[in-house]
A = this chain, B = another copy of it.
Amino acid sequence: MKNSFFSQFAPQEPKFFPMLRNLSKSLVDSSSLLVESMKFSSQDKRNAYYKRIKEVERNADIQANNIFDELGKTFITPFDREDIHNLASTIDDVIDGINNCAKRITIYNPHPISESGIELCQFIHQGAVYIAKAMDELGSFRKHTSALRECCTKLHEIENQADDIYELFVKNLFEKETDCIELIKIKEIMQELERTTDTAERVGKILRNLIVKYA
């Protein structure tokens, strides 16, 4: 089972690597916008950022669809195809998650976002940067797997840290917040942020499986 990811389709189909790389660039664009948007609390500003994030998300949808189309037309083995499909669609899920976070912030329009909320956004962005780095490594990872392994470890650590921050924050929220509607808004936003770090970790799990299978 020592097929190489590289030899299996890279030479014949090198286009998948740049396509995945571009998709991960959209992810980083989207997470950067999310982090930046946290500096503002006026509804207009939030709306403007949400619009930009939504645009990136729609564009990423098209990028992911192009990857799926390419997979449908290209002869590679079903298993490999599944892996690429899985990778592209999970990266797309992270971008969707970021869009949903921005959507909830815009819809619920909470009073200042908490420090913990800002931290979760930063974790999402860090995860995005590691995913983009991993996409840069894909074409050559079987020669030196350490860089890709590092990305997987980091995504796992980020998820754990985000989890701790989330738990502590929500516990406090339910103890102290007495305005029920404000509590719902904050809870819904924090849940979506935490879920997005989970999704980013799923990308790490897929990459980990690729290493086992192909490196």
Count of identical protomers in the assembly: 3
A184 near B185 with CB under 8 A, answer no
CA distance A130 to B174 in the complex (A): 36
A171 near B72 with CB under 8 A, answer no
A181 near B181 with CB under 8 A, answer no
A residues 91-130 with Cβ under 8 Å of B? Answer: 103, 106-109
B170 near A107 with CB under 8 A, answer yes
Q: Which range contains the number of A residues in contact with the other chain?
A: 20 to 34
Give a binary string over A176-213; 1 marks a CB under 8 Å from any B CB, 0 the rest.
Answer: 01101101110100000000000000000000110011
Distance (Å) between the CB of A141 and the closest chain B CB?
Answer: 15
Give a binary string over A43-77; 1 marks a CB under 8 Å from any B CB, 0 the rest.
Answer: 00000000000000000000001001100111100
Q: Which residues of A contact B (CB under 8 A)?
A: 1, 65, 68-69, 72-75, 78-79, 103, 106-109, 167, 170-171, 174-175, 177-178, 180-181, 183-185, 187, 208-209, 212-213
